[in-house]
Amino acid sequence: MPDLKKYPDTPDGRYFVVRGRLWRTSNPALAPEKRQALVDRLMTARRQVGAAKRAGDREAERSARAAVDEAKRALGERGPVWWNDGAPDYNRKLAANTPYAAWYAALQQD
């Protein structure tokens, strides 16, 4: 039976894959309440980006984008990596061009 998850996670849980590209997951060490509060902040900031764009307000858009970045950094999706084993960060890289290439290719076989 094929995996029904739309965006598969890498075996180490550090990334999920969208259209062949790796995207860093949130830090799993975050307490659930803390993670949810950060996700709420992120979604609010994303809505603010959209509203600012619709209004043509460049300053508000810059401010909202900064809030998105701040929330994503707090979640561990950007900025310093949340793991501590010295492994490099492959965020936003094509899976086929990383050490995850064989794993990703095997997914495509299913």
Q: State which residues form the domain around 45.
A: 29-76
pLDDT in tens, 45-93: 999 999 999 999 999 999 999 999 999 999 999 999 999 999 999 999 9
Do 16 and 36 have their domain in common?
no
Q: What is the pLDDT of residues 26-42, one digit of tens each?
A: 999 999 999 999 999 99
- How many domains, the chain? 2
Residues 40 and 61 in one domain: yes
* Shared-domain flag, residues 34 and 64: yes
Same domain, 57 and 88: no
Go through the chain and tell me how many residues it has. 110
Same domain, 39 and 72: yes
Confidence at 6, pLDDT banded by 50, 70, 90: confident
User: 3-state SS of 19-43?
Assistant: CCEEEECCCCCCCHHHHHHHHHHHH
